[in-house]
Structure 1
Amino acid sequence: MRKTIWAGALLLCAAPVAAEPLFGPDGYRIAAYRAPVSRPPDGVGRIAPSAAAALRPGRDALFLDVLPAEGGHRESDGRWRLAAPHESIPGARWFPEAGRGVLAPGIAAWFAGAVHRLTRGRRDRMLVVFCRSDCWMSWNAARRLRAMGHRNVWWLAEGTDGWRDLGRPLVRVMPEGGLAP
Protein backbone atom coordinates (compact mmCIF):
# COMPACT_ATOMS: atom_id res chain seq x y z
CA MET A 1 0.00 0.00 0.00
CA ARG A 2 2.76 2.39 0.97
CA LYS A 3 4.59 1.67 -2.32
CA THR A 4 1.42 2.40 -4.28
CA ILE A 5 0.93 5.78 -2.57
CA TRP A 6 4.57 6.67 -3.11
CA ALA A 7 4.43 5.67 -6.79
CA GLY A 8 1.25 7.71 -7.24
CA ALA A 9 2.86 10.75 -5.66
CA LEU A 10 5.85 10.43 -7.98
CA LEU A 11 3.54 10.22 -11.00
CA LEU A 12 1.72 13.37 -9.92
CA CYS A 13 4.99 15.23 -9.53
CA ALA A 14 6.19 14.04 -12.93
CA ALA A 15 2.93 14.86 -14.72
CA PRO A 16 3.39 17.67 -17.25
CA VAL A 17 1.92 21.00 -16.24
CA ALA A 18 -0.27 22.60 -18.86
CA ALA A 19 1.64 25.57 -20.28
CA GLU A 20 -0.06 28.86 -20.96
CA PRO A 21 -0.98 28.99 -24.67
CA LEU A 22 1.14 31.33 -26.79
CA PHE A 23 -1.53 31.99 -29.44
CA GLY A 24 -5.23 32.72 -29.19
CA PRO A 25 -7.81 30.96 -31.35
CA ASP A 26 -7.66 33.81 -33.88
CA GLY A 27 -3.90 33.34 -34.46
CA TYR A 28 -2.57 36.36 -32.56
CA ARG A 29 0.26 35.91 -30.05
CA ILE A 30 -1.20 36.37 -26.55
CA ALA A 31 1.74 35.59 -24.22
CA ALA A 32 5.53 35.83 -24.03
CA TYR A 33 5.64 38.80 -26.41
CA ARG A 34 9.43 39.22 -26.06
CA ALA A 35 10.68 36.21 -27.98
CA PRO A 36 12.31 35.59 -31.36
CA VAL A 37 10.01 35.92 -34.36
CA SER A 38 11.18 34.12 -37.49
CA ARG A 39 8.93 35.48 -40.23
CA PRO A 40 6.29 38.13 -40.87
CA PRO A 41 2.59 37.33 -40.85
CA ASP A 42 1.05 36.12 -44.10
CA GLY A 43 0.64 38.92 -46.61
CA VAL A 44 3.09 41.22 -44.80
CA GLY A 45 6.60 42.03 -46.04
CA ARG A 46 9.68 42.29 -43.91
CA ILE A 47 11.73 45.48 -44.23
CA ALA A 48 15.36 45.76 -43.16
CA PRO A 49 16.36 48.64 -40.88
CA SER A 50 18.59 50.12 -43.61
CA ALA A 51 15.70 50.10 -46.10
CA ALA A 52 13.37 51.65 -43.51
CA ALA A 53 15.98 54.34 -42.78
CA ALA A 54 15.93 55.31 -46.47
CA LEU A 55 12.22 56.18 -46.18
CA ARG A 56 10.81 59.46 -44.93
CA PRO A 57 8.31 58.72 -42.15
CA GLY A 58 5.02 60.44 -42.85
CA ARG A 59 5.83 60.97 -46.53
CA ASP A 60 7.05 57.71 -48.07
CA ALA A 61 5.44 55.51 -45.43
CA LEU A 62 3.45 55.75 -42.24
CA PHE A 63 5.62 54.41 -39.39
CA LEU A 64 3.55 52.80 -36.62
CA ASP A 65 5.13 52.06 -33.24
CA VAL A 66 3.07 49.60 -31.19
CA LEU A 67 5.26 49.18 -28.11
CA PRO A 68 3.07 49.21 -24.97
CA ALA A 69 3.04 52.11 -22.54
CA GLU A 70 5.01 50.37 -19.80
CA GLY A 71 3.28 51.11 -16.52
CA GLY A 72 0.82 53.42 -18.27
CA HIS A 73 -2.81 53.08 -19.28
CA ARG A 74 -5.52 54.70 -21.39
CA GLU A 75 -8.27 56.55 -19.53
CA SER A 76 -11.93 56.25 -20.52
CA ASP A 77 -11.73 59.67 -22.22
CA GLY A 78 -8.90 58.44 -24.50
CA ARG A 79 -6.09 60.23 -22.68
CA TRP A 80 -2.99 58.26 -21.81
CA ARG A 81 -1.40 58.23 -18.37
CA LEU A 82 2.25 57.40 -18.88
CA ALA A 83 4.64 56.18 -16.22
CA ALA A 84 7.73 56.84 -18.34
CA PRO A 85 8.63 58.70 -21.54
CA HIS A 86 8.86 56.73 -24.78
CA GLU A 87 11.35 57.21 -27.59
CA SER A 88 10.67 56.16 -31.15
CA ILE A 89 11.69 56.67 -34.75
CA PRO A 90 11.34 60.35 -35.73
CA GLY A 91 8.00 60.88 -37.48
CA ALA A 92 6.49 57.62 -36.19
CA ARG A 93 3.02 57.46 -34.69
CA TRP A 94 2.81 55.63 -31.37
CA PHE A 95 -0.12 53.29 -30.70
CA PRO A 96 0.54 51.74 -27.28
CA GLU A 97 -1.21 48.42 -26.70
CA ALA A 98 -2.29 48.01 -30.38
CA GLY A 99 0.05 45.03 -30.67
CA ARG A 100 -1.44 42.88 -27.95
CA GLY A 101 -3.06 39.62 -29.00
CA VAL A 102 -6.26 40.54 -27.19
CA LEU A 103 -6.99 44.25 -27.24
CA ALA A 104 -8.43 46.14 -24.30
CA PRO A 105 -11.83 47.76 -24.89
CA GLY A 106 -11.56 50.77 -27.16
CA ILE A 107 -8.04 50.05 -28.44
CA ALA A 108 -9.13 48.26 -31.65
CA ALA A 109 -11.47 51.09 -32.70
CA TRP A 110 -8.91 53.75 -31.75
CA PHE A 111 -6.16 52.03 -33.74
CA ALA A 112 -8.33 51.34 -36.80
CA GLY A 113 -9.84 54.84 -36.78
CA ALA A 114 -6.51 56.61 -36.45
CA VAL A 115 -4.84 54.53 -39.16
CA HIS A 116 -7.82 55.20 -41.45
CA ARG A 117 -7.49 58.94 -40.77
CA LEU A 118 -3.71 58.98 -41.21
CA THR A 119 -3.86 57.04 -44.49
CA ARG A 120 -6.88 59.06 -45.65
CA GLY A 121 -8.60 55.73 -46.21
CA ARG A 122 -5.98 54.53 -48.68
CA ARG A 123 -5.44 50.84 -48.05
CA ASP A 124 -2.46 50.84 -50.42
CA ARG A 125 -0.50 53.35 -48.32
CA MET A 126 2.84 51.93 -47.17
CA LEU A 127 2.73 51.08 -43.45
CA VAL A 128 5.87 50.17 -41.48
CA VAL A 129 5.02 48.50 -38.18
CA PHE A 130 7.53 48.04 -35.35
CA CYS A 131 8.25 47.89 -31.63
CA ARG A 132 11.59 46.40 -30.47
CA SER A 133 13.59 43.44 -31.69
CA ASP A 134 12.18 40.05 -30.78
CA CYS A 135 8.75 41.54 -30.14
CA TRP A 136 5.56 39.80 -31.17
CA MET A 137 3.51 42.97 -30.71
CA SER A 138 4.61 44.41 -34.05
CA TRP A 139 3.89 41.02 -35.65
CA ASN A 140 0.37 41.09 -34.17
CA ALA A 141 -0.24 44.68 -35.29
CA ALA A 142 1.02 43.97 -38.82
CA ARG A 143 -1.28 40.95 -39.00
CA ARG A 144 -4.16 43.05 -37.67
CA LEU A 145 -3.57 45.78 -40.29
CA ARG A 146 -3.54 43.15 -43.03
CA ALA A 147 -6.81 41.73 -41.69
CA MET A 148 -8.24 45.28 -41.82
CA GLY A 149 -7.57 45.28 -45.58
CA HIS A 150 -4.29 47.20 -45.77
CA ARG A 151 -2.30 45.84 -48.71
CA ASN A 152 1.11 47.48 -48.25
CA VAL A 153 2.14 46.46 -44.73
CA TRP A 154 5.81 46.05 -43.81
CA TRP A 155 7.20 44.63 -40.59
CA LEU A 156 10.38 46.15 -39.19
CA ALA A 157 11.36 43.17 -37.03
CA GLU A 158 14.36 44.90 -35.44
CA GLY A 159 12.23 47.88 -34.40
CA THR A 160 13.77 50.76 -32.51
CA ASP A 161 16.71 48.53 -31.54
CA GLY A 162 17.64 48.07 -35.20
CA TRP A 163 17.14 51.77 -35.87
CA ARG A 164 19.47 52.70 -33.04
CA ASP A 165 22.02 50.08 -34.20
CA LEU A 166 22.23 52.04 -37.48
CA GLY A 167 23.26 55.10 -35.47
CA ARG A 168 19.90 56.75 -36.11
CA PRO A 169 18.38 58.94 -33.40
CA LEU A 170 15.22 58.23 -31.49
CA VAL A 171 12.92 61.02 -30.31
CA ARG A 172 10.38 61.31 -27.53
CA VAL A 173 6.84 60.68 -28.73
CA MET A 174 3.36 60.76 -27.24
CA PRO A 175 0.55 58.29 -27.93
CA GLU A 176 -1.39 59.07 -31.09
CA GLY A 177 -4.33 61.34 -30.39
CA GLY A 178 -4.13 60.94 -26.64
CA LEU A 179 -2.23 63.52 -24.67
CA ALA A 180 -0.52 62.40 -21.51
CA PRO A 181 -1.12 65.08 -18.87
Structure 2
Amino acid sequence: MTRYLPFCLLALAAGAATVPDARFDPQTGYRIAEYRGIIPEPPPGVRRINAAAVARLVDTGRATLVDVVPAEGAVREANGRWRLAREQRGIPGAAWFPEAGRGRVDPAIERWFLAGVARLHAAEPRRTLIVFCLADCWMSWNAAWRLKRAGYAQVRWFAEGADGWRDLGRPLVPMTPYPEPL
Protein backbone atom coordinates (compact mmCIF):
# COMPACT_ATOMS: atom_id res chain seq x y z
CA MET A 1 0.00 0.00 0.00
CA THR A 2 2.77 2.46 0.88
CA ARG A 3 4.33 2.01 -2.56
CA TYR A 4 1.22 3.65 -4.08
CA LEU A 5 1.30 6.62 -1.71
CA PRO A 6 3.53 8.80 -3.95
CA PHE A 7 1.15 8.23 -6.88
CA CYS A 8 -1.87 9.10 -4.73
CA LEU A 9 -0.22 12.30 -3.52
CA LEU A 10 0.71 13.21 -7.09
CA ALA A 11 -2.87 12.61 -8.24
CA LEU A 12 -4.22 14.76 -5.39
CA ALA A 13 -1.80 17.56 -6.20
CA ALA A 14 -2.72 17.44 -9.89
CA GLY A 15 -6.41 17.61 -9.01
CA ALA A 16 -5.85 20.59 -6.73
CA ALA A 17 -4.00 22.43 -9.48
CA THR A 18 -7.09 22.33 -11.71
CA VAL A 19 -9.44 23.94 -9.16
CA PRO A 20 -10.43 27.29 -10.65
CA ASP A 21 -9.54 30.44 -8.75
CA ALA A 22 -12.88 32.00 -7.77
CA ARG A 23 -11.30 35.47 -7.80
CA PHE A 24 -11.21 35.35 -11.62
CA ASP A 25 -14.03 35.12 -14.15
CA PRO A 26 -13.48 31.78 -15.94
CA GLN A 27 -14.79 33.13 -19.27
CA THR A 28 -12.96 36.47 -19.46
CA GLY A 29 -9.99 36.05 -17.12
CA TYR A 30 -10.72 39.37 -15.40
CA ARG A 31 -10.27 39.60 -11.63
CA ILE A 32 -13.76 39.77 -10.05
CA ALA A 33 -13.05 39.70 -6.31
CA GLU A 34 -10.44 40.84 -3.81
CA TYR A 35 -9.26 43.71 -5.99
CA ARG A 36 -6.44 44.78 -3.68
CA GLY A 37 -3.44 42.50 -3.61
CA ILE A 38 -0.08 41.70 -5.12
CA ILE A 39 -0.23 41.44 -8.91
CA PRO A 40 2.57 39.23 -10.27
CA GLU A 41 2.61 40.43 -13.88
CA PRO A 42 0.90 42.82 -16.27
CA PRO A 43 -2.10 41.77 -18.34
CA PRO A 44 -1.35 39.76 -21.49
CA GLY A 45 0.07 41.99 -24.21
CA VAL A 46 0.35 45.05 -21.93
CA ARG A 47 3.62 46.42 -20.61
CA ARG A 48 4.08 47.74 -17.11
CA ILE A 49 5.35 51.30 -16.69
CA ASN A 50 6.89 52.81 -13.56
CA ALA A 51 6.16 56.18 -11.94
CA ALA A 52 9.29 57.91 -13.25
CA ALA A 53 8.49 56.90 -16.84
CA VAL A 54 4.88 58.05 -16.42
CA ALA A 55 6.11 61.42 -15.14
CA ARG A 56 8.42 61.81 -18.16
CA LEU A 57 5.58 61.06 -20.58
CA VAL A 58 3.21 63.42 -18.76
CA ASP A 59 5.83 66.19 -18.64
CA THR A 60 6.42 65.91 -22.40
CA GLY A 61 2.72 65.68 -23.30
CA ARG A 62 2.95 62.11 -24.58
CA ALA A 63 0.52 60.39 -22.19
CA THR A 64 -3.21 60.00 -21.88
CA LEU A 65 -3.94 59.06 -18.27
CA VAL A 66 -6.89 56.77 -17.58
CA ASP A 67 -7.84 56.51 -13.89
CA VAL A 68 -10.15 53.65 -12.86
CA VAL A 69 -10.17 54.14 -9.07
CA PRO A 70 -13.62 53.15 -7.81
CA ALA A 71 -15.90 55.85 -6.42
CA GLU A 72 -16.61 54.43 -2.97
CA GLY A 73 -20.11 55.25 -1.81
CA ALA A 74 -20.93 57.07 -5.05
CA VAL A 75 -24.08 56.62 -7.11
CA ARG A 76 -24.20 56.78 -10.89
CA GLU A 77 -27.54 58.26 -11.87
CA ALA A 78 -29.58 57.21 -14.92
CA ASN A 79 -28.32 60.22 -16.89
CA GLY A 80 -24.71 59.10 -16.34
CA ARG A 81 -23.84 61.76 -13.78
CA TRP A 82 -22.18 60.73 -10.56
CA ARG A 83 -23.15 61.72 -7.03
CA LEU A 84 -19.94 61.34 -5.07
CA ALA A 85 -19.90 60.50 -1.37
CA ARG A 86 -16.54 62.18 -0.90
CA GLU A 87 -13.82 63.97 -2.79
CA GLN A 88 -11.60 61.84 -5.00
CA ARG A 89 -8.01 62.89 -5.67
CA GLY A 90 -5.96 61.75 -8.62
CA ILE A 91 -3.21 62.62 -11.06
CA PRO A 92 -3.67 66.01 -12.73
CA GLY A 93 -5.03 65.73 -16.26
CA ALA A 94 -6.26 62.15 -15.86
CA ALA A 95 -9.65 61.07 -17.17
CA TRP A 96 -11.43 59.32 -14.29
CA PHE A 97 -13.71 56.39 -15.10
CA PRO A 98 -14.96 55.09 -11.73
CA GLU A 99 -15.90 51.42 -11.65
CA ALA A 100 -14.56 50.72 -15.17
CA GLY A 101 -11.93 48.38 -13.75
CA ARG A 102 -14.32 45.86 -12.27
CA GLY A 103 -14.08 42.35 -13.66
CA ARG A 104 -17.81 42.21 -14.20
CA VAL A 105 -18.55 45.79 -15.13
CA ASP A 106 -22.03 47.21 -15.64
CA PRO A 107 -22.64 47.32 -19.43
CA ALA A 108 -23.50 51.04 -19.33
CA ILE A 109 -20.24 51.81 -17.53
CA GLU A 110 -18.28 49.67 -19.99
CA ARG A 111 -19.84 51.52 -22.96
CA TRP A 112 -19.09 54.89 -21.30
CA PHE A 113 -15.50 53.80 -20.57
CA LEU A 114 -14.77 52.50 -24.07
CA ALA A 115 -16.47 55.49 -25.76
CA GLY A 116 -14.62 57.93 -23.50
CA VAL A 117 -11.24 56.34 -24.15
CA ALA A 118 -12.04 56.32 -27.87
CA ARG A 119 -12.70 60.09 -27.73
CA LEU A 120 -9.50 60.70 -25.76
CA HIS A 121 -7.48 58.55 -28.15
CA ALA A 122 -8.99 60.14 -31.26
CA ALA A 123 -8.01 63.58 -29.97
CA GLU A 124 -4.38 62.52 -29.38
CA PRO A 125 -3.78 59.18 -31.17
CA ARG A 126 0.01 59.21 -30.72
CA ARG A 127 -0.16 59.41 -26.94
CA THR A 128 0.38 56.32 -24.83
CA LEU A 129 -2.69 55.22 -22.86
CA ILE A 130 -1.60 54.79 -19.25
CA VAL A 131 -4.12 52.96 -17.08
CA PHE A 132 -3.93 53.18 -13.31
CA CYS A 133 -5.78 52.90 -10.02
CA LEU A 134 -4.00 52.65 -6.67
CA ALA A 135 -1.00 50.50 -5.83
CA ASP A 136 -1.76 46.76 -5.83
CA CYS A 137 -5.17 47.26 -7.45
CA TRP A 138 -6.46 44.69 -9.91
CA MET A 139 -8.94 47.20 -11.35
CA SER A 140 -6.20 48.90 -13.36
CA TRP A 141 -5.03 45.46 -14.52
CA ASN A 142 -8.56 44.63 -15.71
CA ALA A 143 -9.03 48.00 -17.42
CA ALA A 144 -5.66 47.86 -19.19
CA TRP A 145 -6.46 44.39 -20.49
CA ARG A 146 -9.96 45.54 -21.53
CA LEU A 147 -8.38 48.33 -23.62
CA LYS A 148 -5.82 45.96 -25.12
CA ARG A 149 -8.64 43.59 -26.08
CA ALA A 150 -10.49 46.56 -27.60
CA GLY A 151 -7.59 47.01 -30.01
CA TYR A 152 -5.43 49.71 -28.47
CA ALA A 153 -1.74 49.02 -29.12
CA GLN A 154 -0.11 51.63 -26.88
CA VAL A 155 -1.57 50.61 -23.51
CA ARG A 156 0.64 50.70 -20.43
CA TRP A 157 -0.24 49.50 -16.95
CA PHE A 158 0.88 51.83 -14.17
CA ALA A 159 0.76 49.37 -11.27
CA GLU A 160 1.75 51.89 -8.57
CA GLY A 161 -1.00 54.26 -9.71
CA ALA A 162 -1.88 57.41 -7.81
CA ASP A 163 0.09 56.10 -4.81
CA GLY A 164 3.26 55.87 -6.90
CA TRP A 165 2.65 59.34 -8.34
CA ARG A 166 2.29 60.77 -4.82
CA ASP A 167 5.43 58.89 -3.70
CA LEU A 168 7.35 60.72 -6.46
CA GLY A 169 6.41 63.96 -4.73
CA ARG A 170 3.88 64.84 -7.43
CA PRO A 171 0.56 66.43 -6.47
CA LEU A 172 -2.84 64.77 -6.46
CA VAL A 173 -5.79 66.99 -7.32
CA PRO A 174 -9.58 66.77 -6.91
CA MET A 175 -11.18 64.69 -9.66
CA THR A 176 -14.58 64.48 -11.29
CA PRO A 177 -15.73 61.53 -13.39
CA TYR A 178 -15.25 61.76 -17.14
CA PRO A 179 -18.36 63.35 -18.67
CA GLU A 180 -20.98 61.39 -20.52
CA PRO A 181 -21.37 62.39 -24.16
CA LEU A 182 -24.13 64.92 -24.78
The TM-score normalised by the length of structure 2 is 0.83
Inter-partner Cα distance in structure 1 for 2:84 and 2:114: 22
Query: Is residue 23 from structure 1 mapped to residue 24 from structure 2 by the alignment?
Result: yes
Look up the match of 2:131: 129
Shift of 1:105: 3.2
What secondary structure, in the 3-state scheme, does the structure 1 residue paired with 2:57 have?
Answer: coil
Q: Give CA deviations for 1:114-146 in whole Å, capped at 9, x if unaligned.
A: 111111177764100000001000000000000
Aligned pairs for 1:26-175 within 5 A:
26-56=28-58, 59-120=61-122, 125-175=127-177
Distance change (3 Å), C-alpha of 1:57 and 1:78: farther
Distance change (3 Å), C-alpha of 1:107 and 1:58: farther
Inter-partner Cα distance in structure 1 for 2:113 and 2:61: 20
Inter-partner Cα distance in structure 1 for 2:20 and 2:73: 26
Shift of 1:61: 1.1
Q: CA RMSD in A?
A: 2.0
Q: Between Structure 1 and Structure 2, which shows a larger proportion of helix residues? A: 2
Distance change (3 Å), C-alpha of 1:52 and 1:113: same
The TM-score normalised by the length of structure 1 is 0.83
Distance change (3 Å), C-alpha of 1:73 and 1:126: same
Inter-partner Cα distance in structure 1 for 2:127 and 2:152: 8
What secondary structure, in the 3-state scheme, does the structure 2 residue paired with 1:117 have?
Answer: helix
CA contact (8 A) 2:62 2:126 kept: no
Runs (5+) with no aligned partner, structure 2: 1-18
- Could you tell me the percent identity over the aligned residues? 53
What secondary structure, in the 3-state scheme, does the structure 2 residue paired with 1:54 have?
Answer: helix
Inter-partner Cα distance in structure 1 for 2:47 and 2:107: 29
Shift of 1:58: 9.5
Inter-partner Cα distance in structure 2 for 1:84 and 1:107: 20
Inter-partner Cα distance in structure 2 for 1:21 and 1:57: 40
